[in-house]
Amino acid sequence: MSVEITTLPSGLRIVTHAMPELETASVGVWIGAGARDEREDEHGLSHLIEHMAFKGTRTRNAHAIVAEIESAGGDLNAATSVEFTTYNARVLGADAPLVIDILSDILTDSLFDPQELKREKGVIAQEISEVNDTPDDLVFDQFNLAAFPDQAIGRPILGTPGRVESFDRQAILAYLERHYATPVAVIAAAGAIRHETIVEATQRNFVTLSSQPAMPRAAARYKGGDARVSRKLEQTQIVIGFESVGFNHKDAYAAHVFANIVGGGMSSRLFQEVREQRGLAYSIDSFQWSYADTGLFGFCAAAAHRDAAELCNVALDCMARCAQELTDIELRRAKAQMKVSLLTALESAGARADQIARQLMALGHVPSREEIVRKIDALTIEEVRAAGAASLATPPTVAALGQAKKTPDPVKVRERLGPG
C-alpha cells in the first residue's frame, strides 16, 4: 500500500495513495469541522458555507469555477457532515494540480457576494423542504435530535429556513476564521497521482489558509429520548437506537461487526426474521455510526401501521438474542463482509481518498490494510457480544413518523430488552 503523508510547517497534512493502475484521480480538501461545531445561532451555517464556496472568488466567478473543472473532463463536489466538510473533484491524473489550485481559491478567497448568498439561501430552503417531504429522511433528523437533545451534534445538518435566512457575510467569515485552519485540514488524493506533485501544488496554493490552533469541540452527551410524531402517511417510519462507541474506542471494530450481524444484509438476523419469516417490512437495516467521541447503533424500517408495534418487538427481541447467542458462522460472515468493504475502497480513487483522509483526521494515522484485517480477524465472539450488549444497555432513543403511537416508547423498549 503506497500511502504517503507529509505535514507542512503550517500544520497542513497531505495524504496520498498512488494507484498506478488507474488513469483518473480524486483530489480534495477535508476540513475537520461540521454541523456539531456550530454555535446555537449558527445552525446550518457549515452547510451554507459549503454551498457558497462555489459562488465566486476574486479571480473566478461561479461559472468559471465549474467550467474550468469540466473543461478538463472532471466534476466538482462538496459535502457537509456532522464532523467534516469536504470539497473534492475527480479528474485525469495530470490535472490534479488544477484541482488544488481551484480548491485553494474557493477556500481562501471566496467573495460571498450578497446576491449569490440570497439565491443560495433559497436553494437551501428548497432542500430543507425536500427533507420534510421525505419521511425516511425526516425520521432520522428526529432520531438524532432525541438522542442528543440541545446539542449541535443532534441538530439537522441543513438547519432551519429561518436560521439560514439570518446568516450574512460576516457570520460566514467569523465561522471560517474559527474553523477553517491548517491543524484541522487534510489534503487527500488517490489514483493516478504522485505524492510529490500533490505536495508541490499544495505548497504553492495553500499559502494563506489560517494556521491558528483548532477550536475545542464540546463533548457529546448522549441522552436518548422519544420523538414519535403522528403524520398522515402510508407507512410508519421507525428508528430505534442506542449509544455506541467512537472511532478510537477499543470496541469500535466489534461494534461494527455486531451491527452487521444484526442487520447488515439479506442473511442478517433482522432481515431474515422481520422480512423473510414474518413479512413485516419490505426492508430493515441496522446502522453503526461512529463519531470522534461517541456513536449510535440501531435499526430502521418502515411498516404498515398495523404491523409497527409487532415489528419493533420482533426486532428488539432479535437484537437481544444476538447479543447473547451470535454464532461462529455469523461472526465469520460479518468479518468477510467487512474485509470486502475495505478492499472495495481500494478499487475506487474517490472512495480511497475519502477513506485515507477520514482515517488520518480521526485516528491520527492511516492504518494499513494488513493492520485492519488483523484487528478484524482477532475479534472473538465474546468481544462482539459484549459490544452489542453494552449498546443495548444504554437508554433507548425512539423516533417514529406516521401512526407513531403504535410504536413502543423508550420505557417499553427498555422493558422489552430487560434491565440495562
Positions marked catalytic: 50
Burial (Cβ within 10 Å: 0-12, 13-18, ≥19) of residue 342: middle
Give yes or no for a contact between 74 and 90, defined as CB atoms under 8 angstroms apart.
yes
Give yes or no for a contact between 48 and 61, defined as CB atoms under 8 angstroms apart.
no
Give the burial string for 51-90 (b: 16+ CB within 10 Å, else e).
bbbbbbbeebebeebbebbeebebebebebebbbbbbbbb
Helix (H) / strand (E) containing 37: none
Report how far apart, in Å, the C-alpha atoms of 83 and of each of 30, 37, 181, 344 are.
Answer: 10, 7, 15, 24
- State CA 127 to chain mean position distance: 18
Q: DSSP string spanning 369-413?
A: HHHHHHHHHH--HHHHHHHHHHHHTSPPEEEEEESGGGSPPHHHH
Question: In sequence order, what are the residues at sequence separation of 6 or more whose Cβ sits closer than 8 angstroms to the Cβ of residue 153?
Answer: 35, 36, 82, 144, 220, 291, 294
Question: In sequence order, what are the residues at sequence separation of 6 or more whose Cβ sits closer than 8 angstroms to the Cβ of residue 185?
Answer: 12, 13, 29, 30, 31, 32, 209
Query: Which residue in 121, 101, 103 sits closest to 112, CA to CA?
Result: 121
Rounded CA gap, 389 and 377, in Å? Answer: 20
- State CA 290 to chain mean position distance: 9
**Exposure of 73 in the CB half-sphere (CA atoms within 13 A):** 10
Report how far apart, in Å, the C-alpha atoms of 400 and of each of 107, 142, 210, 241, 348 are.
Answer: 39, 8, 43, 12, 36
Residue 20: phi and psi, rounded to 5, are -60, -15
